[in-house]
């Protein structure tokens, strides 16, 4: 006849199961997929303030970002308060190089140009390698500060030019420069909150 399991043994087994499950959840978040809350209106209309997305951390280790990808990354130091460019540049050009130190904060933006691409900005629209891009996801900024940079720059090797979809309300690479590949955390691939906006990006 099988001996019934003791209450102490059942409790220990439950504790072990919960600990393993918690460890797996933390491991997945740390190394595979991480949730991220949208903190500002810079990605409107694509992403709203408070919306939550999932970021693929491991995929970035095997493939480089592409133009059009929405990514989470560390911006250059000061980008969240007093953005500055790493080099002197004329007002008709975007910032071509960031400061050397990264910030600890996380930003989410769209990749609009990659290594070796030439970029200029016209009324908030990207002119990539001489061609105005079709950007149905973007809210243009019209005319004003940050809207027009007619003289193109070349994105340095190993760097990516980031812009928010809300072109008139986004602190991005226009002001503090392209982001080194090593500062990119991963690509946002889905939104899971609120329920009405669940879906792939």
64 belongs to the catalytic site? no
Residue 165 DSSP one-character state: S
Map tokens 């503090």 to a residue. Answer: 176
Q: How many Å separate Cα 131 from the centre of its chain? A: 24
Distance CA(156)–CA(112), nearest Å, equals 14
- Picking from 163, 175, 167, the residue whose alpha carbon sits closest to that of residue 123 is 167
The one-character DSSP state at 94 is -
The strand order across the sheet containing 118-122 reads 131-132, 125-128, 118-122, 149-154
Whether 3 is catalytic: no
Structure tokens at 120: 């200029």
- Among candidate residues 42, 96, 170, 173, the one labeled active-site is 42
In whole angstroms, give the CA distance from residue 37 to residue 190.
Answer: 12
DSSP code for 59: G
Catalytic residue among 34, 96, 109, 173: 109
Q: Dihedral sign, CA of 67, 71, 73, 75?
A: positive
Give the residue numbers annotated as catalytic, written as ranges: 42, 109
């Amino acid at each position: 006849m099988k001996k019934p399991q003791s209450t102490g043994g059942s409790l220990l087994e439950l504790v072990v199961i919960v600990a393993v499950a918690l460890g797996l959840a933390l491991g997945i978040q740390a190394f595979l997929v991480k949730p991220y809350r949208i903190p500002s209106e810079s990605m409107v209309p694509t992403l709203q303030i408070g919306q939550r997305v999932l970021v693929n951390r491991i995929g970035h280790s095997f493939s480089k970002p592409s133009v059009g990808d929405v990514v989470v990354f560390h911006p250059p130091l000061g980008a969240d308060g007093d953005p500055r460019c790493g080099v002197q540049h004329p007002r008709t050009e975007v910032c071509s190089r960031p400061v050397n130190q990264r910030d600890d904060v996380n930003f989410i933006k769209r990749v609009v140009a990659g290594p070796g691409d030439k970029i200029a900005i016209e009324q908030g629209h990207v002119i990539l390698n001489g061609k105005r891009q079709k950007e149905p996801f973007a809210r243009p900024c019209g005319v004003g500060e940050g809207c027009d940079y007619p003289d193109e720059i070349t994105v340095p090797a190993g760097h990516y030019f980031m812009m928010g979809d809300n072109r008139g309300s986004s602190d991005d690479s226009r002001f503090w420069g392209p982001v080194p590949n090593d500062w990119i955390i991963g690509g946002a691939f889905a939104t899971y909150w609120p329920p009405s906006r669940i879906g792939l990006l």
